[in-house]
Structure formats: structure tokens, C-alpha cells
Amino acid sequence: MELALLDMLGIFAVGTVILSLLVGEHVRGGQQLSLLYLLQLVIVSFMVSSSESTQFSSALTLELQGVTMSWRLDGLGLYFALITVATALFVSVYMVGAWGAHYRKQGGSLPLLHFALSLNVLTMLLLLASGDLLSLFIGWELASWSAFLLMALAGGTALKSALRYLVYAMAGAMMVFGAIAILVVEAGSFQFAAVNSALVQLEAETSLLLLLLVVAGFGVKMGLLPFHLWQASAYAETPGPGAAFLGAISSRLGLFAILLVLFKVAGGGWLNQSLAGVSSQTLLAWVAVATIIFPTFTAMRQNDARELLAWHGIGQGGYMLLGIAMMDPLGAAGGLLHVFNHATYQAALFLAVSAVIYRTGSSDLNHLGGLVVRMPLTFVTMLVGIIGLAGLPPTNGFVSKWLVYRSLLEQGEVLLFVGAVVGTLGTILSVYKLIHNSFLGSLRLEHQPIREVPWTMWLPMLLLSLIILLSGIFPGVPLQWVSAALLSIGLPVPEFNLGGVVAEGGSLDMRIISGVLFAGFAMAALIFYGMGGRSRRVNPLDNYAGGHFLYAANRYHYSNNFYAGLMHLIKPWYRGLFQRIEQAVVRLLAVAAGLVQGIYLQAQAGRMALVVTVLLLWWGSYVGQGGGGL
């Protein structure tokens, strides 16, 4: 058997898992793991860059229960695989050295964390490479459960959040299971091609049901409304680098699977049908917009930096789905490009927040501030990251959002556009809260002695920031991967060049935009310094305000109850609707469970037995007298 490129990738991924158990105990042992991630990245990059083959198949096929399972990576899978492995590499470098030692000192199990991370990468690659419905479902389940492991390993409240995730994920998986069962029974095969050709004869109701099951089932994992409640706390409680990995890419698997099934397997036809008079495409777009708006404004309320970021992660997923739901070249490309962009800045932001926790022991936005003077590199990372998250030039987040907006306007979807813009407004406000409350303002007295994080931590952060900027200035590079991904699932591809997208009625060239922007900055700097602007460093406490000297006790950095006025205005809107729905479901279940438990706890054990016997005998006589079956 000749080893295909994909098999080598698989072997390295398995090797990482095994090695993580062997060397994970040592803080330096993570280096070998990083090296293995690097090797995986090299292989994936080679696959991505080689243009002669559009699909990399594995030589390995497995026949289980008469079903032939095969694995292959095509454009879509490669795109996600690239992000997965790259994120794992950055995160693992971060975990080596100081952070790992710190984590271990706090009572965490470093080998377990390494193991969970590498297991996530392996199972995600399995999912991304799935070549039929069975391997898709197996990959999906395995990836979901390894994500659970990563979330749960901190124990305590993290485990509680992870269990909540577990229930949601199982619900999603069971919807998918049902959909796959229907598809397989209809087609008589697990293979994509056979399923695709069998879909033609499907009844309208069945395909609508399938659409619902697939979107909702896979959507649980990407936090699609109304299945989003689990995500923020589950991700936030995960140990820093793990949270970065989960937030950056693990949460996007839902999108991957939706794209795969909706477009590659079903050919996109399901989105054309209408549900209660509304086309399901529009409906999907509105779900996406709701997913943008609600979580984003919930993020604004958070006082924990990790929670804030995790809530944004949910909202940003909405942009991706919104773009793809437009199904036109600009929208689809924008939505898919946002996956990459989001991964870069979300990883950078989580790592930066994790760095703050590493030094200060807190991510409480009410009890931080002024860290810019102590941790400048982390500050830079966070600055670049939040610009990306807010979608402002010259970062990559701007490009993808621009594409999505552009597509919305071109399609004449003004309301959707307004919704998306409202979401962006919330994003800008809340990311300002994030950076202001943690890095700006006055440094707290207890944070005076801290220093910048060690290089193993700032290096991946700065590299990520660099990627955010570079892929913002030259979006053509990621767009190339995106176009391969779009081609592989049969969606239209926009015309693009290194600097951006060429479209009728206005192209986007980030090189020009960034050039103008940087020229502006240069001009301002020139004016400031050229006009003799002199700045003198003073200790933040060596100052006075209102005629009074400042003491450490009087802080002039208002971070507590940030946005009080705004919150007062929009507070009535926070109704906790979804929380209530969730609670209602749980209570309903509890009541039902109490009732059925009552059956078992009756004093007269025979009573129910008697009732059932009589009913059955009645049934027997009913049937015997010619009544039909149920």
C-alpha cells in the first residue's frame, strides 16, 4: 500500500496524540508536539498550494458493516484543515514553557491538556476528510466528544458548562443522526454521490425536514440561534490555549458540515424550497442575522474578558452563515473567508486574554486596567485583534465583512444589511470595553510589579497579529484557498487578485486602502512629532486631577459598570428569552420525569400493570373483531 499524502498527515496526527501522552508531562516536551504540528502544517500547506490535484484521497478505506468508508481532502476540507493545524501549532507553542509550567503549578494536568488538543486536531481532520456519510457522522461525534474532553478537563464549573455543551451537542448529533438515517434509507448507500442522485426523487416535506435537521443539528456546534447558550461559558472556562483553539476553529466545524451536506451532498437545492411562504434561504439568512445581533449585544454585557470573546465568537459565526446564505460570489467568498479571519483574530485575542490572566490572575474587566505600560506586546496583539474583530481596515476582518455587506446590498437585502451593521456596532462598542478596561487607563497598584509575558507566549501572539494585518492587506492569498473551497462545493467564485476582489460597481483593493491608511498615520505622526510635539513619561500616580493629587486608592479609570448609560437604555431589551426557553424545556422535562417516576413509585405496584393488561386485552378484542392495526 502506497502512502498517500493524506495518510502521512493522519500518521502525524496520530503520532501527536501518542506523543502527547509520553512527553506531555514535561514542560519542554511540548516542543516535540509543536514540531509535529508544524510537520502537519507543512503537509497541509503543500496540499493547499499544489494546484495539480483538487482532491487528496487516503489509501486507507475501511469496510465496516458493509459500508465502505473512505477519507479524502478537497478544497473545502483543506481550507478548514489548514486553519485547524495552524491554530494548533500557534496554541501549542504558547503552551510550551512558561504557560505550561504555570498551568501545572495551578494543579492542571499538562499531558491531559496536550492529549485533548492533539485528539481534537486528529478527530477534526478525520471529520474534514470524511468521504461518505458514515465517516462524516463518526468524525462529527468524535470531534464533538474530544471538544468535550478539552472543555471538561479543568473540572469544577468548567465541567458544568461542558456538560451543558454535551447535552446540546448530543441533541445536535441526534438530529444529524436522524437526517443521515433518512438519507441513507432513501439512497440505500452512505456514499455522497449515491445520496446526491437519490435526492432528486425526494418528496418536498422530506427534504424540508432534512434541511431543518441538518442546519439545526450541525448548527448547534456553531452556536446558531437558538442553540447558542452553551458555547460562551463552555469556551470561556477552558484553559487559555484550549479556549483559543476551540473559539478559533472548533466552533466552525458546524459551518463546515452544513456546507458539506447542504451544497456538496444535496447540491444546494434544499435552500430553494419555501417554508410557510418564506424561502428557506431567506429564513437561514435571518437566523444568521439573529445569531449576529443577540450574542454580540450579550457580549457587551459581559464583565469577564473570556466570556466577552466567546460570545463574540457566536456572533461572528452569524456573518459567515449570512454570507454563504446569499449564495452569490461575493457573499459566499466573504462568509467563508471570515472563517479564516475569525480564526486568526479570535486565537490572538484569547491568547492575549490568557496572557493577562497569566500575569494578573484575573480576566475580570472590572478589576484590570492600565496594563499597556507593563505588557505592550500583549496590548499590540489585543489591539490588532479587536480591530479585526470589529472589522475595520487594514485588518482581515474588514475584508470579509465588506464582502458580506457588499453582497447583501447587491442582492437588495437592505434589512439584513441593517441587521448586520447593528451587529457590527455592538461589536465595536464591546471590543472597546475589552481593551479599555484591561489595557488603558490607570494601572492598579497590585499590578505594578508585573512584566511582559515570556517570548514563548508573545511570539505566537505577535505572529498571529502579523497574519491578521498581512492577510488584511493581501487578502488575495486566503481568497485563493477560499475559491478552491467554493469550487469544491459548487458555489460561485468571485474574481480576485492579491489586493482584493474585482467586482462590477466597485472593487476592493486593500493595498490601496491600507496604503492610504498608513499614509494618514504617517502624516499624523509627522505633524505631531514635526510640530515639536514632545511627550514625557510620567508615572500614572504622579499626577493630579481637579486640583487633587491622585492616590492609588482614587482611581480615575472608570471600568466598573462600563457603558452604564448605554446599558440603562438598552437594558429592557435583554430579556433572557433563550435562557427562559431553555429553562422551560428543562422544567418541562423535569415535570414529565416526575410524572413518569411517579408510575414507578406507586404504593400499589400492580395497579399500572392491571391497567395495561386491560388495555391490551381491549386491543386484542378490537383487532380480533376486524379493527385494523395502528
Partner 1 sequence: MSTEWLPLVVALPLLVAFLLQPLAHWLGVRAERPSPVLYGLSLMTIAATLWITLQLGSDVIAQPLSVTMGGFNTPVGINLYLDGLAYLLLLATQLALLLLWPAGAAVRTHVLLLVLAASSMGLALSGDLFNLYVFYELLAVATFGLIAASPGRAAPLVSFRYLLLSGMGSVLALSGIALIYSHSGSLNLADLSMLAASGEGSLPIAAFLLILVGFGVKAELFAVNSWVPEVYSVTSSRFAALLAGVVSKLAVVMIVRILLLLFPQPEATDPLLLLGILGLVSGELAAWRSNDFRRMLAYSSIGQLGMIFIAFSLSLELGLFAGLALSFHHMVVKPGLFLLLQQPLSRWRVVLLILFALSLVGVPPLPGFWAKLALLTGLVEVGGWLNGVAAVTFLVATVVEAGYLFRIVQRYYQEERPIAGSTSSTVAAVESPWGWEGGVALMLGGVLLAVTLTINPVTEQLQQIALQSGDRERLISTITVSEVE
What residues line the site for partner 1 (CB under 8 A)?
Answer: 63-65, 137-138, 141-142, 145, 155-156, 159-160, 163, 166-167, 170-171, 174-175, 177-178, 181-182, 184-185, 589-590, 592-594, 596-597, 599-602, 605-606, 608-613, 616-617, 619-625, 629-630
Contact of 463 with 488, CB cutoff 8 Å: no
Cell numbers placing 326? 446569499
Could you tell me if 23 and 32 are in contact, meaning their C-beta atoms sit under 8 angstroms apart? yes
Cβ nearer to partner 1, comparing 148 with 319:
148
Backbone angles phi, psi at 126, to 5 degrees: -60, -45
Min separation Cβ 231 and partner 1, Å:
17
For residue 370 the three cell numbers come to: 492600565
Rounded Cα distance between 70 and 358, Å, is 43
Measured CA to CA, the distance from residue 556 to residue 373 in angstroms comes to: 16
In whole angstroms, the minimum distance from the beta carbon of 377 to partner 1 comes to 35
Say how many CA atoms lie within 13 Å of 571 toward its Cβ. 8
Q: Which is nearer to partner 1, 175 or 351 (CB)?
A: 175
Residue where the block lists cell 511540548: 30
Q: How far is CA 545 from CA 442, 540, 551, 552, 555, in A?
A: 13, 11, 10, 13, 11
Q: Where are the alpha helices (DSSP H) in 302-372?
A: 305-326, 329-360
Q: Which is nearer to partner 1, 173 or 324 (CB)?
A: 173
- Residue 611: CB minimum distance to partner 1, A: 7
Classify residue 37 as exposed, middle or buried by CB count within 10 Å of its CB (0-12, 13-18, 19+). Answer: buried
In three state form, how does the secondary structure of 130-192 look?
A: ECEHHHHHHHHHHHHHHHHHHHHCCCHHHHHHHHHHHHHHHHHHHHHHHHHHHHHHHHCCCEH
Instruction: Please say which residue, 160 or 367, places its beta carbon nearer to partner 1.
Output: 160
CA-based nearest residue to 222, from 322, 133, 73, 306: 322
Closer residue to partner 1 in complex, CB, 175/453 = 175
Least distance in angstroms from the C-beta of 65 to partner 1: 6
State in angstroms the smallest separation of the CB of 155 from partner 1.
Answer: 5
Question: Shortest approach of partner 1 to residue 547 CB, angstroms?
Answer: 49
Chain center to CA of 54: 26
Alpha carbon distance 131, 57 (integer Å): 9
Q: Is 166 or 392 the residue whose CB approaches partner 1 more closely?
A: 166
User: Which cell is 172 given?
Assistant: 445536535
Minimum CB distance to partner 1, residue 210 (Å): 12
How far is residue 519 from each of residues 387, 512, 516, 537, 563, measured CA to CA in Å?
Answer: 18, 10, 5, 27, 33
Residue 74 CA from chain centroid, whole number: 21
Minimum Å gap between C-beta 223 and partner 1 is: 18
Q: Which is nearer to partner 1, 114 or 374 (CB)?
A: 114
Q: CA separation (Å) from 262 to 179, 273, 603? A: 12, 13, 53
- By C-alpha distance, which of 378, 346, 344 is closest to 359? 378
CB of 226 to partner 1, least distance (A): 16
Nearest-10 crossing angle of helices 329-360, 98-105: 60
Minimum CB distance to partner 1 smaller for 524 or for 593: 593
| C-beta closer to partner 1: residue 170 or 373 | 170
CB of 237 to partner 1, least distance (A): 13
Closest separation in Å from C-beta 464 to partner 1: 33
Q: Which is nearer to partner 1, 565 or 598 (CB)?
A: 598
Shortest spacing between CB 600 and partner 1, in angstroms: 5
Q: CB-wise, 167 or 552, nearer to partner 1?
A: 167
* Min separation Cβ 262 and partner 1, Å: 20
Picking from 361, 462, 396, the residue whose alpha carbon sits closest to that of residue 93 is 462
Q: Between 229-237 and 577-600, two packed helices, what is the crossing angle to 10 degrees?
A: 90
Rounded least distance, CB 282 to partner 1, Å: 27
Residues 541, 53: Cα–Cα separation, whole Å: 63
Nearer to partner 1, 189 or 395 (CB): 189
Nearer to partner 1, 213 or 513 (CB): 213
Q: Please, which residue, 170 or 517, has the CB nearer to partner 1?
A: 170
Which residues, listed in sequence order, are joined to residue 71 by a DSSP beta bridge? 130
